[in-house]
A and B are shown apart, each in its own frame.
Chain A
């Protein structure tokens, strides 16, 4: 599981690759710290290469979303696969994230 962060002017993009399971979430929580500090930016969570997410991963996403709210940033979730889509629906995340 790897997380790559790229800043592009007003955008900050986090590319997730692999399986975000409970074990991997420990490292990912560290890796996404720059996103929690971004103010007035568009935070893009690029999930094109994300195969799987468990509740620990969802918690990280939720934390990013809450911090963004407080920092006037926008969070966009991109290219989640069908199975992760299902998970987002089951947990209601589909209504608190903008999904592209």
Chain B
């Protein structure tokens, strides 16, 4: 009897205790969902604020000039393809000839063009708007209340403003970046994970930014709130009770049934099991929330990195490959690159700290890099601009080491600015060795906003490779906490015989993994390799590949006038090789292009003897187009072919020999040499 009573009591305690802990777990699940949404909104907020700041910087460059205000909005849209509108509203009578109102609004049209309008006026008195009134007095970024944008986008928006100041420090205008509520609404719908649940977002004043759906009367709902610091919004998640508990109810039933069926021993076992179960559920909830955050941060990070390789299919002179092997906790590594006007702009960075804050800084850095380098070629100036923006933002004392390089594809000159990052390694093709690039010890970004950065230069030659990495490589540790280190990295790099970037990186990854030998990776392993190479095309000895050759010639940087001559000469040589070099066998033909501009001293006979006359000789710039055709077929020297007599009559003319004749006519120099088992033919044309 007593035993039964005891069992009943234990049963009751267990039931209620279990239910309470299940409720707690459900709460935590919902809250982690909320945090997820908050983080996503934060990313949008950070990006928008960054753009508002960039707009400010552009305008402040020449703030007394009306055209520069207009151009600032247009430049922003030109360089950031995902932004659809930008606006600058000037203070009263700032440009007297324009009158009292002057608000420039640039927007991207459906056909891709950018339309710029002046929308200020008596019918649109923006001085009365909430966003302007606050934007003008608040020191930094301000998020307005939602409003209907009649003059601009004709939809409900919130605006992120930033004050624009003149050299005396007075506010002369307000930069504004709009975020449409529609966009936020779509985003919250996209974020929804629980069935029948939804988010609402309310502004500081309680106005609705993202609307919820109607609740079903009689159904019980759980509501959780979070505040988004940056914008002052309150985001709430509303989940029906039964949805939260879905799945958990099953567990509850099993536990209860086990308890009911069991005798004292069963109850004892179940009591134990349910106790462990409870602990497990609590820790799983904690882990799950953390993993959710990490997952988001990881998604942010990976979305920022270029991952399509080869990235520039139509540029045979650039071969790039990059990878990030992420550690368990997000490390905030980044790399990025793009090509503009025959120059490759690239960067590598490592954000201090881990987790979501690091991922957010990384996202911001990427936007800053793209924007700051859009119209600027001086690497020190780009890095300074990024540094100022990051230092200003720096509430969490995050900083990042950063390396920026600009490679001029025509000349091979590499300008770079290193902000506290690991010195990249230069693999010289000629010397077949690996050495660290010399870098000046500039501070990392985000520490001192007025630090003066020094830029440097180095000359790259064909088939040189620059290898960039973060300290996830050099500080990779084995089980005894010994680090991989710089020395070992240089040694291993020097041993790799194939200079293709993908091969180098895969090789290094294998070597690091072998060194680490299963120990836990505690930092992102990031590598980017860039090879500057001679444009070349590889063909097989198949006559059907001739159009490929024509295509390749068209992709080169050759003046229109010389295009046909080059095309024809190369086709003649290559056809010859296809027909004769590889009898009954498959073979490859490799055609390389190089362009050399040199100072050619015009010599006359007497100069070489008369030294004084030499100093009076004129220098002239001459450019030569050089084509090297290599094949591993039977030895054949086309220069030895007999000259064709073009004065013969039609009846007397020989059918053969025309091809080589044409090559001799079209090119200025032809050189042949046999190298080991290869025929190497060089054609030179002076332009």
Contacts and interface: CB of A to CB of B under 8 A. Distances in A.
B661 A26 contact: no
A59 B575 CA distance: 14
Nearest to B569: A54
Interface string A52-64: 1011101100110
A22 B653 CA distance: 20
A66 interface: yes
A55 B662 contact: yes
Interface string A70-98: 00000000000001000100111001100
Given A21-B550, A23-B543, A54 B651 contact: no
Given A54-B571, A56-B575, A66 B564 contact: no
Given A54-B572, A56-B575, A87-B568, A92 B650 contact: no
Contacts of A22: 543, 546, 571, 575, 578
A41 interface: no
Given A22-B543, A26-B543, A83-B564, A54 B575 contact: yes
Nearest to B568: A54
Nearest to A57: B658
A86 to B, nearest CB: 8
Nearest to B574: A22
Given A22-B543, A52-B567, A90 B666 contact: yes
Contact of B571 (A21, A69, A95): A21
Nearest to A54: B571
Nearest to A19: B550
Interface in B628-652: 644, 646-651
Contacts of B571: 21-22, 54
B544 interface: yes
A65 B650 contact: yes
A26 B579 CA distance: 13
Interface in A8-36: 19, 21-23, 26
B564 A55 contact: no
Contacts of A54: 568, 571-572, 575, 659, 662
B655 interface: yes
A83 B550 CA distance: 16
B544 A23 contact: yes
B550 A90 contact: no
A90 B564 contact: no
A69 B651 contact: yes
Contacts of A52: 564, 567-568
A91 B662 contact: yes
Nearest to B657: A55
Contacts of A19: 547, 550
Interface residues of B, number: 28
A56 B543 CA distance: 12
A59 B547 contact: no
A92 B575 contact: no
B658 A58 contact: yes
A90 B661 contact: yes
Interface string B650-681: 11010100110110011000000000000000
Band of interface residues on A: 20 to 34
Contacts of A83: 564
A62 B650 contact: yes
A87 B546 contact: no
B658 A23 contact: no
A66 B655 CA distance: 10
A96 B649 contact: yes
A90 B651 contact: no
A91 B661 contact: yes
Interface in B535-592: 543-547, 550, 564, 567-568, 571-572, 575, 578
B220 to A, nearest CB: 75
A21 B575 CA distance: 10
A90 B544 contact: no
Contacts of B651: 66, 69
Contacts of B666: 90
Contacts of A55: 572, 575, 658-659, 662
Given A21-B550, A52-B567, A65-B650, A59 B543 contact: no
B649 to A, nearest CB: 7
A54 B543 CA distance: 13
B655 A63 contact: yes
B655 A59 contact: yes
26 contacts: A19-B547, A22-B575, A22-B578, A23-B543, A26-B543, A52-B567, A52-B568, A54-B572, A54-B662, A55-B658, A55-B662, A56-B575, A58-B658, A59-B655, A59-B658, A65-B650, A87-B568, A87-B662, A90-B661, A90-B662, A90-B665, A91-B644, A91-B661, A91-B662, A91-B665, A92-B653
Interface of B: 543-547, 550, 564, 567-568, 571-572, 575, 578, 644, 646-651, 653, 655, 658-659, 661-662, 665-666
Interface of A: 19, 21-23, 26, 52, 54-56, 58-59, 62-63, 65-66, 69, 83, 87, 90-92, 95-96
Minimum-distance CB pairs A-B, first 6: A92-B646, A55-B659, A90-B665, A96-B650, A55-B658, A22-B575
Given A66-B651, A91-B658, 12 more contacts: A21-B550, A23-B546, A52-B564, A52-B568, A54-B568, A55-B662, A56-B575, A62-B655, A69-B650, A90-B665, A92-B648, A96-B653
